[in-house]
Each structure stands twice: as C-alpha cells, then as structure tokens.
C-alpha cells in the first residue's frame, strides 16, 4: 500500500521557481510523517530522480530517541527510479534524505514506503546467497542482532547482473519532459551531436534501427553521417533514409563533415548494432551543460536481444587511467567536444579506430576534462551472452623500474602468535628480493615464551629492529610508532599474519607508490584456501566499507576485468600497503585517537584522497593473509567497535555514500558486483 508523505527542505535546500535547489552541501530533506517508518521494522522505499541529475546514491539519515544518528546509502536512480530495502532503527524519531552531493537544481521524489517481511528476504537469500542466510541465523542464535540483520541484507536485497532485464523493469520509468525531466537550458539552441557510422560493416536493419532510435530522441539536435567507401555504390536503402530524414547524410570522406562542425558540438564514432535509449542525447547535453570543463564524456552501455530483453550491463567506474590502460573500459559510448579549431584533426585521429584513439586523447586531457555520465547511453543489438560484460584485456607496456630503488621501512605490529610472526619473518628473509629494506617489529605485550624467544633472536639480524610498545592494542598507535622509529623513503605496513608467495612482491608494491599522484598501494591478498581476502575496498559496502570479491576464487577476472591489472580504488586494507613517507606524514599518519583498531586504514585513505591522491590495487603483489589471526575474529564486531564506527560514519558519511570507482547502480550489500 502506498502511503502519503511530504519532503520538506531541512538543510542546504531552497525552493526556487517551484524547483528544489541545493544551495549548500550537505543538502537534506526531512520526510514526514515519520510514522511511515516507526510503525514498520523493515521497509522498501521507492524513489525517482531526474535523468539530468547525477544518479548519486541518496543518503538516508535516521535520528533516534537516544540521539544516535545512523546513515544508510541507497542505490542511485540509474534508470530514473530506485529502490532501497532496509531496517528502520528502533526508536527512530526523524528520517531525512540527502538526494544530491552538489549544488544546483535537482528533482527528486519518493513514490512509496512499504513494509517488507524479513521472511521474504530470508527465502530469497536461500536461493541466491544461502551462506549469508545461514550466517544471519547463526548470528541471531549468538544474540548478535545487528550482525544478523546485516547478514540478512547481504542475503536478500541484491539482484544478480544476469537478471538485469527484470531489475530494469522495476527501476526504469518513462521520460518526463513536463515534470522531473524538464529541460534546464534551451535545447533549440544547444550543441549538435554529430554521429558517424561506417557502412562497411553495417547492415540495412542496423542502420534503420539506429536511425529510428535517434528519431525518438527528446533532444533533436543531432546529425547522423553514414560514411561509405569511395569506390562503393550508394545502397538503395541509404538513399531512401537520406531522402526521408534530413538529419541523416552520407559522405565518402570524413573531411566533408568538418564544415558542418561548430565549436562545442559533440562527436562520436558509432559501432554497428548501436542503438540509443530515448533519453540518451538529452542526458548527454544536460550533463555537458552541467560540466562545462568536460571535453570527453563517456557513458554506460548495455545490450538488447532480438526479443527486446536487456542484458550485459557495462557499468563503468569514474575516470580511471590505470584501469583504462589495462582494460580499455571506455568502450563505445564516448563523445568528444569539438574544439574551436582543429576538428578535422580530431576526426582523422579518431577514424577508423575510435576506441584506441579515445583512450590516447583521454590520457592527455587535464583533470576534470574526462567526465563519466553514469547512465546507459548506448545499447547494442546482441544475443544474450554473446556480449561479454567486460571489454577485452589489453597488454600495456609495464612501467620501467626506477633507476634506484628507495629505502623501505616495513612496519609489522605483533603480539604473541609466534608461528604467524615466524612465517612472516621467514618470508622477509627468504622471499623478498628487494635490495634495500629494514623491518621494525612493533611488539605489543607479547607474553608467550616462544614469541619472546623469536623477538630476541631477531636482534642478531641487522635488517630487523624490535620496538616494544606495551598497553592496550591500538593498531594506529603501533603503526605510527613503528613508522617514526627509523628513516626511509617508503613505508610498508604489513600484518604479522601475512605470508609471501613470490620474491618480487615488495618491488610490485613499491613501484606504483612512487608515482606523484599515488597515495597508498594495496596488495591482492588471498586466504590459505586460495580464495580472495582483499582485492580493493568499496566505500559504503556493508554500511561503512568492505572488501569487494571477498571469498571469490583467486582466478576471478572480476567485473569488467577489474582483477587483471592495476586499477584505481578508493581505499585498501593496511594488512599490506606501501606509501611514500612524505605523503603519510603530510596527513599525520593513522588516527590513533578516534580509530585505534577499526577503519583506520580507510580513514587514512580518505584523508589522502582529500588532498588529491589516488589509491591503487595491484594484483602483481599477491600474498596470503591469515585474516585477524593474531587478534582473533569477533562475531560481534559492530558492538565491540561501535564507537569507532560512529566516529567514522559521522566523519565520512557524505563521502562513503558514493564510491567513484563503484557504480551507484551496484549493490552495497553483496561481495561481488550485483545490482542494487
């Protein structure tokens, strides 16, 4: 049953000429009546936003009677609509939503708030994520209630990528030019989108379908150029199309297009089998108007089969140069802004290999000039499963080794568990071919005789120093003390429960850390059973931050080929990371006051990101991680570390809601990419 409600500006939002406008961030709307939530335990919220707003994840805020403030990020309205399923915190007194992360006009509305049965999630989870369902039951039996609720969300709220068509049916809506999607600038005088299609491979039905999709566009300023061979006769169907549609033209030389091009027009070379969703060009032009510095815009893609079934979504990250070099993920939905002069050079560069040349152009553009439009801009006609959900992996030239390797200080906090530390030390001695490193073992009150004996024996090795730091376990303080103990150019933080697999692991970790723009470099970590423990951190995953691909087989290529080479990530785990000392010290190291145990590595990454540094996950450094073996595993982590999680949430809620390298259409409650 749909319930009535209102959205009232609460903070940073004004109503101007009848439209909501964010005048400051964070921008909040209060939802009333609050009884829509307080009379239910689990709810489903359906909402809509304009196609012309960035589909950032809306952020919910629950305020309870005790004064506790809890945030929860929803899925971005990728296809115009979105859905969130979650539990209303007990004692909720007020509920607010933050729909945007930037100032300016926006359009957002709630459609419904409905009760959801936990039993429904339980049964759904049995079929798609039975381990999480079982985990929910076990946590409930152990009276770990929050952990049980969290496991239930992981079990029953995500949708597999293979069910994209069904997911789109419940999230997509019609284009609404008189309402949510009213134009925000004068479309009759806007730039023209100039599209090129080679007739060499295109069939009659392909060209007709493309032209039909263009004729349905809400934004009408486009021209389609059909490029035919010099020695080829004009196909009869082309003559027919050109006669009936003045915006469809033929050329034999791309230079013939140049006189048509005005500065500010947008150019794209299309693959055969291309189609455009009805709102695609309107979204493109509104995005260009909202991002005037953009010179290359790329969008997401999907496919449709002959029966009209959608499949194979390609949901791309925001601009990621390293990942582009490895995979070439920009794909075909790429549009370049015509310059004031030199359009002929731009076209001749792109033709006839636009994928490769678009990458080269993107690599030369300044920051902010490459912009990701996080909506489906291009659709291919393709049988189900014929189009892989990731591009082909490239083979980029590996960067050269530095002329001289910098001195590295390896910091290893430890307490007892001699077998773990011995294996780690053995790996440093026998499976590390790095030419210049020193290791400081930061001992936190080891008491076991064999551990004390091992620490004493290390004093005879000039490459090792033991630093004694007794007291309550504080990973941040132990790591900071270790980093300060000796000089070095690069610091590597290494857990004592890590085991080396190959001797070049440290070189692979340090090399990308030396790039000026790189913040922290993380390794790909495996469990002893050859499953992935860490392959990068996604902000907001599980509420705060989590390890994507956790427990997947180590041979996994990853969605879009993410695990086939270095890629940008928002954060990495400190179990094995490298960072230049000057960058680490510039932000004050780990936060030992507010985050002594949990989330300190994510916090460090985010503080570095504030300064413009980009973090890297490299699969070329692979190690085994016996996770949390030295301090134990806690089933009630939410309770034990509640203070740290509350601080982290208050500090970073507006940041972790929208990881730039994890598409907002993807679920934050599944450990491999799935639809939210």
The two three-digit tokens of residue 547, written as one number: 């390890």
The two three-digit tokens of residue 37, written as one number: 């939530």
Q: Give the DSSP letter string of 398-430.
A: PPPPPSSPPPEEEEEEE-S-HHHHHHHHHHHHH
Q: Are 142 and 635 in contact (CB under 8 A)?
A: yes
Query: Cα separation of 97 and 30, whole Å?
Result: 6
Q: Are 584 and 552 in contact (CB under 8 A)?
A: no
The two three-digit tokens of residue 23, written as one number: 């005048």
Q: Are 130 and 648 in contact (CB under 8 A)?
A: no
Q: Give the mean pLDDT of the chain.
A: 92
Q: Are 123 and 136 in contact (CB under 8 A)?
A: no
- Interval 608-645: pLDDT, tens: 999 999 999 999 999 999 875 444 444 555 566 889 99
Q: Count of CB atoms within 10 A of residue 129's CB?
A: 24
Helices (H) and strands (E) in the chain, counts: 19, 32
Query: Cα separation of 302 and 315, whole Å?
Result: 8
- Give the C-alpha distances (Å, rounded to integers) separating 268 from 242, 258, 323, 340, 380: 19, 13, 22, 17, 15
What CATH code is carried by the domain that includes residue 67?
2.60.120
Query: Cα separation of 300 and 372, whole Å?
Result: 8
Residue 613 DSSP SS3: coil
Alpha carbon 238 to its chain's center: 42
157 with 58, same domain? yes
**Residue 209 domain-assigned (yes or no):** yes
Question: Which residue ranges of the chain lie beneath pLDDT 50?
Answer: 1-3, 386-390, 629-634
Residue 207 DSSP SS3: helix
Check residue 390 and report its DSSP letter.
Answer: S
**Residue 202 domain-assigned (yes or no):** yes
pLDDT number for residue 348: 85
Final residue before a domain boundary, out of 381, 396, 423: 381
What CATH code is carried by the domain that includes residue 616?
3.90.550.60
204 with 147, same domain? no
Q: For residue 460, give every residue at least 6 positions away whose Cβ sits within 8 Å of its Cβ, in sequence order, or none.
A: none
Q: Count of CB atoms within 10 A of residue 7's CB?
A: 18
336 with 423, same domain? no
pLDDT number for residue 394: 59
**Residue 389 domain-assigned (yes or no):** no
Query: Cα separation of 70 and 455, whole Å?
Result: 44
pLDDT number for residue 398: 65
pLDDT number for residue 118: 82
Say which residue the tokens 């910091």 belong to. Answer: 411
Cis peptide preceding 26, ω within 30 of 0: yes
Which secondary-structure segment (H or E) carries 354?
Answer: helix 354-364
Cis peptide preceding 352, ω within 30 of 0: yes
| Degrees, nearest 5: CA angle 584-589-591 | 155
Q: How many domains does the chain have?
A: 3
**Residue 666 domain-assigned (yes or no):** no
Q: Give the DSSP letter string of 14-62.
A: EEETTEEEE-SSS-EEEEE-THHHHT-SEEEEEEEE-TTS--PPPEEEE
- Name the β-bridge partners of 249: 225
Q: Count of CB atoms within 10 A of residue 515's CB?
A: 15
pLDDT number for residue 396: 62
pLDDT number for residue 344: 82
Q: Are 527 and 538 in contact (CB under 8 A)?
A: no
pLDDT number for residue 3: 44
**Residue 513 domain-assigned (yes or no):** yes
Q: Are 411 and 380 in contact (CB under 8 A)?
A: no
Ramachandran angles phi, psi of 619, nearest 5°? -80, -5
**Closest CA relative to residue 158, chosen from 97, 78, 84, 87:** 84
**Closest CA relative to residue 613, chosen from 645, 662, 571, 649:** 571
What CATH code is carried by the domain that includes residue 307?
3.90.550.10
**Residue 1 domain-assigned (yes or no):** no
- Interval 416-439: pLDDT, tens: 999 999 999 999 999 999 999 999
Q: For residue 413, give every residue at least 6 positions away whose Cβ sits within 8 Å of its Cβ, in sequence order, or none.
A: 442, 444, 475, 478, 479, 482, 495, 496
238 with 362, same domain? yes
Which secondary-structure segment (H or E) carries 504?
Answer: none
Residues in the chain: 676
**Closest CA relative to residue 36, chosen from 90, 83, 88:** 88
537 with 646, same domain? yes
Query: Cα separation of 506 and 523, whole Å?
Result: 10
Query: Cα separation of 275 and 240, whole Å?
Result: 20
Final residue before a domain boundary, out of 342, 363, 381: 381
86 with 113, same domain? yes
| Kind of pairing between the strands at 490-494 and 408-414 | parallel
**Residue 264 domain-assigned (yes or no):** yes
- Name the β-bridge partners of 524: 622
Alpha carbon 599 to its chain's center: 18
159 with 223, same domain? no
356 with 478, same domain? no
Burial class (CB in 10 A: 0-12, 13-18, 19+), 175: middle
pLDDT number for residue 593: 97
Q: What is the pTM of this model?
A: 0.94
Q: Count CA atoms closer than 13 A to 602's CA, side-chain side.
A: 26
160 with 197, same domain? no
**Closest CA relative to residue 254, chosen from 273, 275, 269, 234:** 269
**Closest CA relative to residue 207, chosen from 275, 309, 282:** 275
Final residue before a domain boundary, out of 171, 204, 230: 171
Q: What does the H/E/C string look like for 276-300?
A: CCCCHHHHHHHHHHHCCCCCEEEEE
The two three-digit tokens of residue 298, written as one number: 């790329």
211 with 242, same domain? yes
**Residue 400 domain-assigned (yes or no):** no
352 with 446, same domain? no
pLDDT number for residue 385: 56
Write out the residue range of the structural domain in which residue 251 sits.
188-381
* End-to-end Cα, the chain, rounded Å: 22
Say which residue the tokens 């809509």 belong to. Answer: 48
112 with 214, same domain? no
Cis peptide preceding 33, ω within 30 of 0: yes
């Amino acid at each position: 049953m749909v319930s009535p409600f209102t959205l009232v500006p609460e903070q940073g939002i004004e109503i101007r000429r009848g439209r909501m406008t964010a005048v400051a961030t964070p921008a909040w709307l209060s939802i009333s009546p609050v009884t829509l939530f307080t009379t239910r335990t689990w709810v489903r919220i359906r909402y809509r936003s304009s196609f012309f707003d960035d589909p950032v994840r809306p952020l919910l805020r629950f305020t309870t009677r005790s004064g506790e403030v809890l945030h929860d990020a929803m899925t971005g309205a990728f296809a115009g609509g979105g859905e969130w399923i979650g539990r209303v915190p007990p004692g909720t007194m007020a509920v607010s939503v933050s729909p945007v992360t930037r100032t300016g006009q926006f359009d957002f509305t709630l459609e419904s708030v409905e009760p959801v049965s936990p039993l429904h999630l339980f049964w759904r989870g049995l079929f798609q994520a039975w381990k999480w369902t079982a985990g929910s039951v076990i946590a409930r039996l152990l009276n770990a209630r929050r952990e049980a609720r969290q496991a239930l969300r992981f079990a029953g709220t995500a949708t597999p990528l293979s069910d994209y068509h069904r997911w789109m049916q419940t999230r997509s809506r019609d284009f609404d030019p008189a309402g949510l999607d009213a134009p925000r600038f004068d479309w009759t005088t806007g730039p023209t989108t100039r599209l090129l299609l080679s007739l060499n491979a295109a069939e009659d039905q392909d060209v007709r379908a493309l032209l039909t999709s263009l004729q349905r566009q809400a934004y009408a300023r486009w021209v389609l150029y059909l490029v035919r061979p010099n020695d080829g006769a004009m196909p009869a169907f082309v003559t027919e199309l050109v006669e009936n549609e003045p915006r469809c033209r033929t050329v034999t030389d791309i230079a013939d297009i140049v006189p048509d091009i005005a500065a500010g027009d947008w150019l794209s070379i299309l693959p055969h089998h291309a189609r455009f969703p009805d709102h695609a060009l309107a979204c493109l032009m509104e995005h260009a108007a909202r991002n005037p510095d953009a010179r290359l815009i790329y969008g997401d893609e999907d496919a449709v089969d002959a029966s009209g079934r959608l499949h194979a979504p390609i949901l791309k990250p925001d601009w990621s140069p390293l990942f582009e070099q490895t995979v070439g993920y920009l794909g075909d939905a790429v549009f370049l802004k015509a310059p004031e002069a030199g359009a002929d050079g731009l076209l001749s560069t792109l033709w006839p290999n636009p994928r490769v040349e678009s990458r080269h152009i993107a690599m030369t553009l300044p920051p902010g000039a490459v912009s990701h439009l996080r909506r489906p801009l291009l659709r291919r006609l393709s049988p189900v499963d014929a189009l892989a959900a990731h591009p082909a992996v490239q083979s980029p030239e590996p960067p050269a080794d530095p002329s001289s390797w910098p001195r590295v200080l390896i910091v290893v906090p430890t307490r007892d568990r001699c077998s773990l530390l011995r294996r780690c030390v053995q790996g440093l001695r026998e499976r590390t071919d790095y030419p210049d490193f020193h290791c400081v073992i930061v001992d936190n009150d080891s008491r076991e005789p064999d551990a004390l004996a091992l620490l004493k024996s290390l004093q005879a090795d000039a490459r090792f120093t033991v630093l004694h730091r007794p007291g309550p376990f504080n990973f941040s303080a132990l790591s900071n003390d270790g980093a300060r103990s000796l000089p070095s150019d690069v610091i590597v933080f290494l857990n004592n429960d890590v085991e080396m697999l190959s001797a070049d692991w440290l070189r692979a970790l340090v090399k990308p850390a030396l790039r000026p723009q790189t913040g922290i470099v993380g390794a790909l970590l495996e469990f002893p059973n050859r499953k992935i423990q860490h392959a990068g951190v996604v902000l907001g995953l599980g509420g705060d931050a989590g390890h994507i691909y956790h427990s997947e087989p180590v041979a996994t290529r990853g969605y879009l080929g993410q695990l086939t080479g270095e890629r940008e990530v928002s954060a990495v785990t400190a179990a094995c990371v490298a960072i230049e000392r000057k960058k680490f010290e510039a932000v004050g190291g780990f936060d030992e006051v507010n985050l002594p145990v949990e989330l300190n590595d994510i916090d460090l990454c985010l503080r570095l990101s504030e300064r413009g540094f980009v973090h890297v996950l490299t699969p070329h450094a692979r190690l085994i991680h016996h996770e949390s073996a030295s301090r134990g595993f806690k089933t009630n982590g939410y309770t034990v570390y509640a203070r740290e999680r509350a601080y982290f949430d208050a500090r970073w809620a507006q940041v972790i809601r929208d990881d730039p390298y994890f598409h907002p259409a993807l679920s934050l409650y599944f450990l491999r990419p799935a639809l939210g």
